[in-house]
Structure 1
Amino acid sequence: SGKKITDVGVQALASLCPNLASINLIKTQVTDVAARALASLCPNLTKINLANTRVTDVGVRALAHSCLEMTTIYLFGTQVTDRSARALANACPNLTEVDLSCTQVTDVGARTLVDACVNLTWIGLTGTRVTTDDGELMLWAKKNPNATGVDRSGKKITDVGVQALASLCPNLASINLIKTQVTDVAARALASLCPNLTKINLANTRVTDVGVRALAHSCLEMTTIYLFGTQVTDRSARALANACPNLTEVDLSCTQVTDVGARTLVDACVNLTWIGLTGTRVTTDDGELMLWAKKNPNATGVDRSGKKITD
């Protein structure tokens, strides 16, 4: 690594040492000519470092098609694209480490690799054209199929990542997707594949009544759901009230929920200890009073002076 090695030197090396299993050519002057020589003459290569070289998709595809037992390849700082990721995914199922940092790879290439290489434990994507964290989430899910909880709050997670997560981790009991890019597609995937979910945070996502109703109908043991900042309405409140009697915490702040939805939830969920209604269309404090009364059945006094209490 770091030596003034050119294609000529690597061609000679490949012809003289056909049993090479690993090679480190980081920061050398080699191109696809060297990569093709290695592919042709050293098919037993398993560990290859071509970071910061002039190798392109042409060379990587040659290596992928010949070195079928490859486990590690570093391509940091090269001009490779999704074509390289696809070639590696198709031909090298035993890959455990791939560094594609500072390349032209996109979300498509990253997902293709993570999907195909079941033994992958690490993939470098810093400084690429990858715009989401779906690949990282999918890789995590593959490594943790028995996981019961996951927190990806604030990450660039989309429906694609959550769909993969749900299919790989069916035992999830809690998930935090606050401030992600997920929609009802993700919510339905979780509802369909992760029925054991009890704690769900979808605050500040694009989930609507459609997704919440799907979750309510499948995740019957749900105890906590946060929907702050979504566009859900009384339909969601009604669905949760009808299907999830064990709810203890529900955050509907900054949603379209009205007094009707709030009262429906408080009436139905006998274990409810907290409900967030700030910034909703709720016009009275009746729901909060009803919740207080449920929690204090032996109370001998109550003061709600100045509150928006109705009959």
Structure 2
Amino acid sequence: MSSTSFPDEALEYVLKFITSHKDRNAVSLVCKAWYRAEGWNRQSIFIGNCYAVSPEMLINRFPRIKAVTLKGRPRFADFNLFPQDWGAYLHPWMVAMAASYPWLEELRLKRMTVSDHCLTTLANAFPNFRVLVLTSCDGFSTDGLAAITTQCRHLTVLDLQESEIENRGGHWLSCFPETCTSLICLNFACLNSVVDFDALEKLVARCTALQSLRMNKEVSLEQLQRLLVRAPQLTDLGTGSYSQQLKWAQYYQLQTALMNCKNLRSLSGFWDVAPVFIPSLYPIGGSLTSLNLSYATIRGNLLMKLVSHCPNLQRLWVQDYVEDKGLQAVGLHCKELQELRVFPVDPLGHGNVTEVGLMAISEGCPNLSSVLYFCRQCTNAAIITVAKNCPKLTRFRLCIIIPQSPDHETGEPMDAAFGAIVKHCKDLRRLALSGLLTDKAFEYIGLYGKHLQTLSVAFAGDSNLAMQYVLNGCPNLRKLEIRDSPFGDAALVSGLHRYESMRFLWMSACNISLIGCGWLANQLPRLNVEVIKENENSRDFTVEKLYAYRSVAGPRSDAPHCVITL
């Protein structure tokens, strides 16, 4: 039986069991009949760049979508490298979806500008709406949240991760109707304002299926204890402030409430943590698999005691206050650790951890797969040890705080370190470079980084040859982020054969010119080439920032004056 004569009913039934976006994309390429059936059958969509396709194209291709994940600005926007009015507006998408997707149930946005009007439209247009996740978004206020909580009567997830929210009062929590019992996840940890605690307590009490609750720093320890009593079924808890004065009886009640949360697996929060309260976590440490202390100024001695009670941790996020001795304790006690993130207390300071802590963790945690590590110094030997001890690494992001720092013991470049990472970690998907690096490091990456998808480069390389090694040697590269490196037009145009298969290329403070960018745009019409100028009146032909991304929708119409689309 040929693919074209395959019964539509049978094909649609089979497609329901294919949930991976990648697999569904592959299925749609079999033939025209499968392409049409897959488009009609698909109910969820992931769009990695809101300008890669237009809302109208989405609706024409997939008319029955119920869940949308949409990303806007790239990661470098988190470092203020994009102008505030650059774009990634939700409005045109919301207008189109409101008219064509009345059955929409889920919307997940990242680095998008979301207005209160958009949230109000969402609340009124989709009667069965259930899931809203806003990650690193901006442009909206608590009034917009009030529209969501008032109208979305079937809401199960309201997750506000690291978003910028204008405070217009804490009334939005009291807008949940008294009949709302469906919440499974509520996260308002990023909110910088007091919330209506009475409304929160009533909401938590009646939502008996609530699994994840992450609160902001305005929630006190006494209030936390009251919430835990009403939600012992929680699996994920983000505490509020952890530093108020408590009487002994109150402290005992808090510890008892925590112990009664038998299913608790993930902890975060801990703003302004008082060391005296950390022992309240010891009795539940054995059940924890995730511990996020990235906002807590916990010193090494305190972390040593805490992790000794947490042998099953798989994810740990901390600040570098923990020092090397705290990380050495992690390597000793947390044998199941898979993800480690160590953030700097002061990114412009000297840092409190070195390569010693990372090496200790690699020796004790062979299943480590993801590392984000800020440190004040490092050596080739240490990273080579990490690469050999942890061959399962898929993400490795090392940041030596002082740019272009060599091996502090030998004075040599850090080429051998990253060469070892890409050679020994066969499934490496994401890599961020740091330290003094020559073209040799990029040669290693091109030679061994066959599965690499994201590469972040800063203050690295000697010549155009470095970028050419990567573009010619990494067939699966999707995102290339480069800043403050000596790459020019010759390096830029060497990737002509790659850019249309990548999601984007970002270059800032390099040596590329308007002529080179223009030539790139002329050669690749499916590539949107945007030049971002700090000074709109400058006549300088040197390009300060380049953002190039594939698009089937053509140049966007909402570019601000500081963006030149070539």
**Aligned equivalent of 1:162:** 358
190, 211, 219: which is aligned to 2:425?
219
Change (3 A) 1:225 1:303: closer
Following superposition, the deviation at residue 307 of structure 1 comes to: 8.9
State the structure with more CA Rg. 1
Counterpart secondary structure, 1:256: coil
323, 343, 359: which is aligned to 1:153?
343
The number of equivalent residue pairs is 189
Give me the whole-angstrom Cα distance separating, in 2, the residues matched to 1:290 and 1:148.
36
Aligned partner letter, 2:422: A
Aligned partner letter, 2:332: K
Aligned partner letter, 1:145: K
Following superposition, the deviation at residue 249 of structure 1 comes to: 0.8
Structure 1: tracts of 5 or more residues without a match: 1-106, 123-130
**Aligned equivalent of 2:472:** 267
Change (3 A) 1:242 1:225: same
Give me the whole-angstrom Cα distance separating, in 2, the residues matched to 1:255 and 1:137.
28
1:295 aligns with 2:502: yes
- Quick check: 249-258 or 176-185, which moved more? 176-185
Give me the whole-angstrom Cα distance separating, in 2, the residues matched to 1:257 and 1:235.
9
Give me the whole-angstrom Cα distance separating, in 2, the residues matched to 1:171 and 1:192.
12
Counterpart secondary structure, 2:475: coil
Change (3 A) 1:301 1:169: closer
Counterpart secondary structure, 2:455: strand
Following superposition, the deviation at residue 186 of structure 1 comes to: 2.3
Q: Which has the higher strand share?
A: 2
Change (3 A) 1:120 1:293: closer
Aligned partner letter, 1:292: Y
Give me the whole-angstrom Cα distance separating, in 2, the residues matched to 1:254 and 1:195.
27
Following superposition, the deviation at residue 242 of structure 1 comes to: 0.8
Change (3 A) 1:120 1:179: closer
Kindly indicate whether the alpha-carbon contact (under 8 Å) linking 1:153 and 1:180 is maintained by their aligned counterparts in 2: no
Matches within 5 A, 1:1-311: 120-121=308-309, 133-154=323-344, 156-204=352-400, 206=405, 208-228=414-434, 230-284=435-489, 285-287=492-494, 289-295=496-502, 301=526
Give me the whole-angstrom Cα distance separating, in 2, the residues matched to 1:245 and 1:215.
12
Counterpart secondary structure, 1:252: strand
Aligned partner letter, 1:183: T
Give aligned-pair identity as a percent: 17
Following superposition, the deviation at residue 211 of structure 1 comes to: 0.8
Give me the whole-angstrom Cα distance separating, in 1, the residues matched to 2:438 and 2:354.
23
Counterpart secondary structure, 1:150: strand
Aligned partner letter, 2:328: M
Give me the whole-angstrom Cα distance separating, in 2, the residues matched to 1:304 and 1:151.
34
Change (3 A) 1:290 1:278: farther
Structure with more relative contact order (C-alpha pairs < 8 Å, separation 6 or more): 1
Deviation string 1:76-97 (CA, Å, 9 cap, x unpaired) is xxxxxxxxxxxxxxxxxxxxxx
Aligned partner letter, 1:174: S
**Aligned equivalent of 2:242:** none
Give me the whole-angstrom Cα distance separating, in 1, the residues matched to 2:374 and 2:497.
29
Kindly indicate whether the alpha-carbon contact (under 8 Å) linking 2:472 and 2:495 is maintained by their aligned counterparts in 1: no
Give me the whole-angstrom Cα distance separating, in 1, the residues matched to 2:454 and 2:462.
16
Following superposition, the deviation at residue 173 of structure 1 comes to: 0.3
Give me the whole-angstrom Cα distance separating, in 2, the residues matched to 1:274 and 1:186.
27
Following superposition, the deviation at residue 193 of structure 1 comes to: 0.5
Kindly indicate whether the alpha-carbon contact (under 8 Å) linking 2:396 and 2:431 is maintained by their aligned counterparts in 1: yes
Deviation string 1:135-176 (CA, Å, 9 cap, x unpaired) is 111222333211111011226222222221111001100111
Deviation string 1:289-309 (CA, Å, 9 cap, x unpaired) is 44423338xx7655769899x
Change (3 A) 1:177 1:243: same
Change (3 A) 1:158 1:302: closer
Give me the whole-angstrom Cα distance separating, in 2, the residues matched to 1:269 and 1:195.
19
| Backbone CA RMSD of aligned residues | 3.7
Give me the whole-angstrom Cα distance separating, in 1, the residues matched to 2:459 and 2:497.
21
